[in-house]
């Protein structure tokens, strides 16, 4: 069953088509055999039933002739002078009647014998026996009638009295026997016709059942094919939908892809498998490209040495934050400059100077909130934008930073200090106004002895 489920689509549909085709072939063969049988039964009807019907009609006519013959004989005997038929004529007619009856009986037995030989007479052994007995009886009765009739003619010719009672008895007996034979022959033709009719109706029922079965199989095959394709296409559409959603939300699509069974599956499963692999790989690439882009943007906006934002980012952020401040947001600017940094470089070397700058930014980051951004705007000069904070509080932060740096000690670094100029946004400030006020404050801090905070 699993092999069937996993087999290719062409094999699945091919398998079902073979079942349907085999069924149709069986149906056609059955119909041909059935039609052939019905045809032979029709021939049988034509070969047995029709001549037998003719014999029956002939015997019925002979029955009539028998009655007429007796009546003629009666009239000739009653008024011989008024009748132009003489006993010789009656004798001849009797012989002709006998001959005809014998011929019809011979014909009937020949038809039945030949029918039985060819296997076309479908009646029971007892029926056959009954027919033969009836014929024998008829033969004997006919002989007795002939004998009695001949004796009566002879009596009429010699003027003796005729035994009418006996003749009429023989006539009646012959009539009865003829009637019985006719009944047997009729029953035979009727049973043949009934058999054929029954066979025909069985054939029609069987053909109809086979037709309905073929229709159901065909319908199921069509339904199965449509359903199968619809289900698989829906699955693939869901996979693509999942992928699209994941990409929209910038998430990695984690399809379950079973590599081991991929080769054993049908074409649609293999297609789905390949699609999932492709989408998975594609999503990974999109996400990693996003990561790279993010890193590139970060790199483009960060200062390589200290990790603080660079001058380019500073210009952009200063404008943006000032814009927000003009709409009511609180904003303070700290300009931080390392004191006598030239001396550090000169005395300890440029590398130590770099290390001092790195440490300086690290100390600033440690004391600031995530939202307060640090920019390196010159060699040893930094700016900090403090958002959503009152001026007094910003001043406190500036003093705290200056003190922390002053009190910081590291055996591998020289002691260093910073001067800080601070200002807060004032209504109508341009970037230049805002920056210049902070710069003036820094200048004051430098001028007033460094390692201190000044406000403007």
| Residue selected from 207, 345, 403, 440 as contacting ligand GTP according to rule CB under 6 A | 345
CB of residue 306 to ligand GTP, shortest distance in Å? 9
In the complex, the smallest distance separating the C-beta of residue 372 from ligand GTP, rounded to whole angstroms, is: 23
Tell me the window of 2-10, 151-159, 250-258, 349-357 that interacts with ligand GTP (CB under 6 A). Answer: 349-357
Does position 337 interact with ligand GTP (CB under 6 A)? The reply is yes
Regarding 11 and contact with ligand GTP (CB under 6 A), the answer is no
Counting other chains too, the contacts that 426-432 makes at CB distance below 8 Å and 24 or more residues apart are 427/326, 429/322, 429/325, 429/326, 430/322, 431/318, 431/319, 431/322
Name the residue nearer to ligand GTP (CB basis): 111 or 420. 420
Number of residues that bind ligand GTP (CB under 6 A): 16
End-to-end Cα spacing for the chain: 87
Residue 113: Cβ within 10 Å count: 11
Establish if 446 lies at the interface with ligand GTP (CB under 6 A): yes
What is the maximum span of the chain, computed from C-alpha positions, in angstroms? Answer: 191
Q: Please report how close the Cβ of residue 382 comes to ligand GTP at its closest, in angstroms.
A: 11
414 touches ligand GTP by CB under 6 A: no
Q: Which of residues 350-379 bind ligand GTP (CB under 6 A)?
A: 350, 353-354, 357, 379
Q: Which is nearer to ligand GTP, 272 or 339 (CB)?
A: 339
Q: Of all helices (H) and strands (E), which one includes residue 205?
A: helix 164-248
Between 69 and 338, whose beta carbon lies closer to ligand GTP?
A: 338
Q: What is the full DSSP assignment across 78-140?
A: H-GGG-S--HHHHHHHHHHHHHHHHHHHHHHHHHHHHHHHTT-----HHHHHHHHHHHHHHHH
CA dihedral 83, 84, 87, 93 (to 10 degrees): -110
327 within 8 A of 364, measured Cβ to Cβ: no
Identify the residue among 339, 372, 429, 439 touching ligand GTP (CB under 6 A): 339
**Least Cβ distance, residue 290 to ligand GTP (angstroms):** 32
Would you state the structure tokens that stand for residue 442, as one six-digit string?
A: 């820094």
Q: Which is nearer to ligand GTP, 13 or 352 (CB)?
A: 352
Interface with ligand GTP, residue 340, by CB under 6 A: yes
Q: Which residues bind ligand GTP (CB under 6 A)?
A: 305, 337-342, 345, 350, 353-354, 357, 379-380, 446, 450
């Amino acid at each position: 069953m699993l092999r069937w489920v996993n087999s290719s689509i062409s094999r699945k549909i091919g398998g079902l088509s073979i079942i349907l085709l085999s069924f149709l072939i069986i149906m056609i063969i059955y119909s041909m055999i059935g039609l052939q049988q019905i045809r032979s039964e029709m021939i049988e009807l034509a070969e047995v039933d029709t001549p037998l019907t003719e014999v029956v009609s002939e015997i019925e006519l002979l029955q009539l002739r028998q009655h007429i013959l007796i009546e003629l004989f009666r009239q000739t005997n009653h008024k011989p002078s008024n009748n132009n038929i003489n006993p010789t004529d009656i004798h001849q007619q009797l012989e002709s009647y006998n001959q005809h009856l014998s011929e019809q009986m011979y014909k009937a037995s020949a038809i039945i014998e030949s029918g039985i030989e060819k296997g076309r007479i479908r009646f029971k052994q007892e029926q056959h026996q009954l027919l033969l007995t009836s014929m024998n009886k008829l033969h004997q009765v006919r002989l007795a009638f002939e004998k009695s009739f001949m004796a009566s003619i002879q009596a009429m010719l010699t003027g003796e009295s005729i035994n009418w009672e006996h003749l009429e008895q023989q006539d009646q007996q012959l009539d009865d026997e003829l009637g019985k034979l006719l009944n047997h022959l009729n029953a035979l033709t009727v049973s043949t016709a009934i058999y054929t009719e029954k066979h025909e109706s069985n054939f029609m029922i069987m053909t109809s059942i086979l037709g309905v079965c073929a229709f159901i199989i065909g319908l199921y095959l069509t339904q199965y094919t449509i359903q199968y394709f619809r289900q698989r296409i829906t699955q693939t559409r869901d996979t693509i939908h999942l992928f699209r959603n994941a990409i929209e939300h910038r998430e990695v699509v984690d399809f379950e892809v079973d590599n081991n069974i991929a080769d054993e599956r049908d074409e649609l499963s293999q297609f789905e498998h390949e699609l999932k692999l492709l989408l998975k790989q594609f999503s990974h690439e999109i996400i990693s490209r996003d990561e790279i882009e993010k890193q590139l943007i970060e790199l483009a906006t960060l200062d390589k040495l200290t990790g603080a934002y660079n001058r380019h980012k500073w210009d952009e952020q200063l404008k943006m934050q000032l814009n927000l401040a003009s709409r009511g947001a609180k904003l303070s600017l700290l300009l931080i400059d390392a004191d006598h940094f030239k001396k550090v470089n000169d005395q300890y070397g440029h590398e130590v100077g770099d290390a001092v700058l790195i440490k300086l930014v690290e100390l600033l980051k440690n004391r600031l909130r995530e939202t307060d951004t640090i920019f390196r705007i010159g060699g040893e000069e930094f700016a900090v934008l403090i958002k959503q904070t009152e001026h007094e509080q910003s001043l406190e932060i500036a003093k705290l930073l200056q003190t922390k740096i002053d009190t910081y000690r590291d055996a591998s670094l020289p002691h260093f200090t910073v001067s800080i100029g601070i200002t807060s946004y004032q209504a109508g400030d341009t970037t230049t106004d805002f920056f210049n006020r902070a710069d003036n404050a820094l200048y004051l801090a430098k001028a007033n002895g460094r390692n201190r905070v000044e406000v403007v």
